[in-house]
A and B are shown apart, each in its own frame.
Chain A
Protein backbone atom coordinates (compact mmCIF):
# COMPACT_ATOMS: atom_id res chain seq x y z
CA UNK A 1 0.00 0.00 0.00
CA UNK A 2 1.47 3.34 -1.04
CA UNK A 3 1.83 5.91 1.73
CA UNK A 4 1.01 9.59 1.85
CA UNK A 5 3.04 11.43 -0.78
CA UNK A 6 4.21 15.00 -0.28
CA UNK A 7 6.28 17.37 -2.36
CA UNK A 8 8.58 19.16 -2.32
CA UNK A 9 10.71 17.75 0.52
CA UNK A 10 12.48 21.03 1.11
CA UNK A 11 11.76 24.63 0.17
CA UNK A 12 13.69 27.80 0.90
CA UNK A 13 12.09 31.15 0.16
CA UNK A 14 12.43 34.74 1.19
CA UNK A 15 9.82 36.46 3.30
CA UNK A 16 6.89 37.90 1.40
CA UNK A 17 7.24 35.26 -1.32
CA UNK A 18 4.59 32.64 -1.93
CA UNK A 19 4.92 28.87 -1.70
CA UNK A 20 2.73 25.84 -2.34
CA UNK A 21 2.84 22.29 -1.01
CA UNK A 22 1.21 19.23 -2.52
CA UNK A 23 -0.16 16.11 -0.90
CA UNK A 24 -1.59 12.88 -2.25
CA UNK A 25 -3.23 10.78 0.50
CA UNK A 26 -3.52 7.03 0.74
CA UNK A 27 -6.02 5.76 -1.80
CA UNK A 28 -9.51 5.59 -0.37
CA UNK A 29 -8.82 7.83 2.64
CA UNK A 30 -11.57 10.40 2.74
CA UNK A 31 -10.12 12.49 5.56
CA UNK A 32 -7.05 14.62 4.91
CA UNK A 33 -5.18 16.88 7.31
CA UNK A 34 -2.50 19.54 7.06
CA UNK A 35 -0.35 20.04 10.16
CA UNK A 36 2.35 22.58 10.94
CA UNK A 37 5.24 21.44 13.12
CA UNK A 38 7.55 24.13 14.39
CA UNK A 39 10.92 22.95 15.72
CA UNK A 40 10.61 21.69 19.29
CA UNK A 41 6.82 21.53 19.22
CA UNK A 42 4.20 18.97 18.37
CA UNK A 43 2.20 19.04 15.15
CA UNK A 44 -0.55 21.67 15.11
CA UNK A 45 -3.63 21.16 12.96
CA UNK A 46 -4.10 23.76 10.25
CA UNK A 47 -7.01 22.30 8.31
CA UNK A 48 -9.01 19.09 8.01
CA UNK A 49 -10.92 17.96 4.93
CA UNK A 50 -13.60 15.32 4.63
CA UNK A 51 -13.64 14.44 0.93
CA UNK A 52 -13.46 17.90 -0.65
CA UNK A 53 -15.24 19.75 2.16
CA UNK A 54 -13.56 21.62 5.02
CA UNK A 55 -14.33 20.16 8.46
CA UNK A 56 -12.06 22.31 10.62
CA UNK A 57 -9.93 25.30 9.66
CA UNK A 58 -10.16 27.16 12.95
CA UNK A 59 -6.36 27.37 13.35
CA UNK A 60 -5.56 28.26 9.76
CA UNK A 61 -4.23 31.86 9.39
CA UNK A 62 -6.65 32.67 6.62
CA UNK A 63 -5.09 36.01 5.78
CA UNK A 64 -2.08 34.22 4.32
CA UNK A 65 -2.78 30.48 4.23
CA UNK A 66 -5.17 28.71 1.90
CA UNK A 67 -5.84 25.07 1.12
CA UNK A 68 -7.98 23.16 -1.29
CA UNK A 69 -8.81 19.58 -2.02
CA UNK A 70 -10.39 19.43 -5.42
CA UNK A 71 -12.13 16.17 -6.37
CA UNK A 72 -11.61 14.89 -2.83
CA UNK A 73 -8.22 13.33 -3.52
CA UNK A 74 -4.99 15.32 -3.53
CA UNK A 75 -4.59 18.66 -1.82
CA UNK A 76 -2.50 21.80 -1.95
CA UNK A 77 -1.58 24.19 0.84
CA UNK A 78 -0.45 27.68 -0.08
CA UNK A 79 1.19 30.48 1.88
CA UNK A 80 1.08 33.98 0.44
CA UNK A 81 2.94 36.04 1.57
CA UNK A 82 5.27 34.01 3.79
CA UNK A 83 6.61 35.30 7.09
CA UNK A 84 9.72 34.28 9.01
CA UNK A 85 7.56 32.52 11.63
CA UNK A 86 6.15 30.21 8.94
CA UNK A 87 9.43 28.28 8.94
CA UNK A 88 8.35 24.78 9.93
CA UNK A 89 7.69 21.29 8.65
CA UNK A 90 4.31 20.99 6.94
CA UNK A 91 2.86 17.53 7.36
CA UNK A 92 0.02 16.02 5.42
CA UNK A 93 -1.88 13.10 6.90
CA UNK A 94 -4.84 10.97 5.91
CA UNK A 95 -7.18 8.59 7.69
CA UNK A 96 -9.57 5.87 6.70
CA UNK A 97 -13.22 6.05 7.70
CA UNK A 98 -12.97 3.56 10.54
CA UNK A 99 -9.56 4.40 11.96
CA UNK A 100 -10.21 6.90 14.68
CA UNK A 101 -7.25 9.23 14.82
CA UNK A 102 -4.95 6.57 13.40
CA UNK A 103 -3.43 9.05 11.01
CA UNK A 104 -0.93 8.15 8.32
CA UNK A 105 1.57 10.96 7.80
CA UNK A 106 3.70 11.89 4.84
CA UNK A 107 7.37 12.77 5.27
CA UNK A 108 6.56 16.46 5.27
CA UNK A 109 7.89 19.57 3.57
CA UNK A 110 10.62 21.46 5.41
CA UNK A 111 10.04 25.18 4.77
CA UNK A 112 12.68 27.78 5.57
CA UNK A 113 11.68 31.44 5.24
CA UNK A 114 14.69 33.79 5.14
Chain B
Protein backbone atom coordinates (compact mmCIF):
# COMPACT_ATOMS: atom_id res chain seq x y z
CA UNK B 1 0.00 0.00 0.00
CA UNK B 2 1.71 3.14 -1.24
CA UNK B 3 0.83 6.01 1.05
CA UNK B 4 2.78 8.65 -0.90
CA UNK B 5 2.20 8.67 -4.63
CA UNK B 6 4.06 10.44 -7.38
CA UNK B 7 2.09 9.28 -10.37
CA UNK B 8 4.09 10.99 -13.09
CA UNK B 9 7.48 9.32 -13.45
CA UNK B 10 9.01 12.12 -15.48
CA UNK B 11 8.60 15.76 -16.50
CA UNK B 12 10.39 17.79 -19.16
CA UNK B 13 10.27 21.59 -19.23
CA UNK B 14 12.03 24.40 -21.07
CA UNK B 15 14.60 26.49 -19.22
CA UNK B 16 13.01 29.60 -17.75
CA UNK B 17 9.54 28.06 -17.54
CA UNK B 18 7.73 26.79 -14.47
CA UNK B 19 8.11 23.18 -13.31
CA UNK B 20 5.21 21.73 -11.33
CA UNK B 21 5.80 18.42 -9.57
CA UNK B 22 2.79 16.76 -7.98
CA UNK B 23 2.39 14.41 -5.05
CA UNK B 24 -0.65 12.74 -3.46
CA UNK B 25 -0.94 11.00 -0.12
CA UNK B 26 -3.51 8.74 1.46
CA UNK B 27 -2.75 8.82 5.19
CA UNK B 28 -4.55 11.69 6.92
CA UNK B 29 -2.19 11.29 9.90
CA UNK B 30 0.70 12.79 7.94
CA UNK B 31 1.45 16.23 9.36
CA UNK B 32 4.74 17.24 7.76
CA UNK B 33 5.81 17.08 4.14
CA UNK B 34 9.17 17.40 2.45
CA UNK B 35 10.76 17.43 -0.97
CA UNK B 36 14.17 15.92 -1.58
CA UNK B 37 16.29 16.27 -4.70
CA UNK B 38 18.65 13.58 -5.94
CA UNK B 39 21.41 13.75 -8.53
CA UNK B 40 22.85 10.51 -10.00
CA UNK B 41 25.34 8.71 -7.75
CA UNK B 42 24.54 11.02 -4.84
CA UNK B 43 22.24 10.75 -1.86
CA UNK B 44 19.01 12.77 -1.68
CA UNK B 45 19.34 16.32 -0.37
CA UNK B 46 16.65 18.23 1.47
CA UNK B 47 14.99 20.91 -0.61
CA UNK B 48 11.94 22.35 1.14
CA UNK B 49 9.29 21.33 3.66
CA UNK B 50 5.83 22.34 4.85
CA UNK B 51 3.85 21.71 7.99
CA UNK B 52 0.21 20.65 7.75
CA UNK B 53 -0.83 23.85 9.48
CA UNK B 54 0.30 25.85 6.45
CA UNK B 55 -0.76 25.80 2.82
CA UNK B 56 2.30 27.39 1.26
CA UNK B 57 6.01 27.67 1.90
CA UNK B 58 8.45 29.52 -0.31
CA UNK B 59 12.23 29.43 -0.53
CA UNK B 60 13.75 31.32 -3.42
CA UNK B 61 12.72 29.70 -6.69
CA UNK B 62 11.00 26.82 -4.88
CA UNK B 63 7.45 26.91 -3.50
CA UNK B 64 5.52 24.03 -2.00
CA UNK B 65 1.73 24.12 -1.86
CA UNK B 66 -0.36 21.87 0.37
CA UNK B 67 -4.04 21.10 -0.13
CA UNK B 68 -5.02 19.02 2.88
CA UNK B 69 -8.62 18.43 1.82
CA UNK B 70 -7.40 16.92 -1.45
CA UNK B 71 -4.40 15.24 0.22
CA UNK B 72 -2.24 16.80 -2.45
CA UNK B 73 0.95 18.80 -2.53
CA UNK B 74 2.96 20.29 -5.33
CA UNK B 75 6.42 21.73 -5.81
CA UNK B 76 6.77 24.73 -8.11
CA UNK B 77 10.15 25.73 -9.50
CA UNK B 78 10.26 29.16 -11.12
CA UNK B 79 12.21 29.78 -13.24
CA UNK B 80 13.49 26.30 -14.04
CA UNK B 81 17.21 25.94 -14.71
CA UNK B 82 19.18 23.10 -16.33
CA UNK B 83 20.85 22.43 -12.96
CA UNK B 84 17.42 21.55 -11.56
CA UNK B 85 17.46 18.37 -13.67
CA UNK B 86 17.31 15.60 -11.06
CA UNK B 87 14.97 13.12 -9.38
CA UNK B 88 12.59 14.75 -6.91
CA UNK B 89 11.14 12.73 -4.04
CA UNK B 90 8.06 13.74 -2.12
CA UNK B 91 8.06 12.52 1.49
CA UNK B 92 5.54 12.62 4.31
CA UNK B 93 5.93 12.23 8.03
CA UNK B 94 3.68 11.41 10.96
CA UNK B 95 4.36 11.43 14.65
CA UNK B 96 4.26 8.12 16.46
CA UNK B 97 4.69 8.93 20.12
CA UNK B 98 8.05 10.61 20.59
CA UNK B 99 9.20 9.36 17.21
CA UNK B 100 8.27 10.20 13.65
CA UNK B 101 8.38 8.11 10.48
CA UNK B 102 9.18 9.36 6.98
CA UNK B 103 7.58 7.74 3.91
CA UNK B 104 8.89 8.48 0.42
CA UNK B 105 7.20 8.46 -2.96
CA UNK B 106 8.80 6.81 -5.99
CA UNK B 107 10.22 10.06 -7.35
CA UNK B 108 9.81 12.20 -10.47
CA UNK B 109 12.65 12.71 -12.94
CA UNK B 110 12.75 16.36 -13.99
CA UNK B 111 14.59 17.33 -17.16
CA UNK B 112 15.09 21.03 -17.87
CA UNK B 113 15.94 21.66 -21.52
CA UNK B 114 18.34 24.57 -22.28
CB distance from A18 to the nearest CB of B (A): 24
Could you tell me the dominant secondary structure of chain A's interface residues?
loop
Q: Which of B14-22, B53-61, B76-84, B102-110 contacts A (4 or more CB under 8 A)?
A: B102-110
Q: What's the least CB distance linking B46 to chain A, in Å?
A: 5
* Pick from A44, A45, A107: contact of B43, CB under 8 Å: A107
B-side interface size class: 20 to 34
The answer, yes or no, to whether A72 is at the interface (CB within 8 Å) is no
Give CA–CA (A44, B89) in the complex, Å: 12
A41 nearest CB neighbor, chain B only: B106
Answer whether residue B99 sits at the interface, using C-beta atoms and an 8 A cutoff.
Answer: yes
Residues of A within 8 A of B (CB): 4, 40-45, 48, 50, 55-56, 91, 93, 100-108
Given pairs A105-B44, A107-B42, 12 additional interface contacts (CB within 8 A): A40-B106, A43-B89, A50-B99, A100-B32, A100-B100, A101-B100, A101-B102, A102-B34, A102-B46, A103-B46, A104-B46, A105-B43
Residues of chain B whose beta carbon lies under 8 Å from any beta carbon of chain A: 4, 32, 34, 41-46, 49, 89, 91, 93, 99-102, 104-107
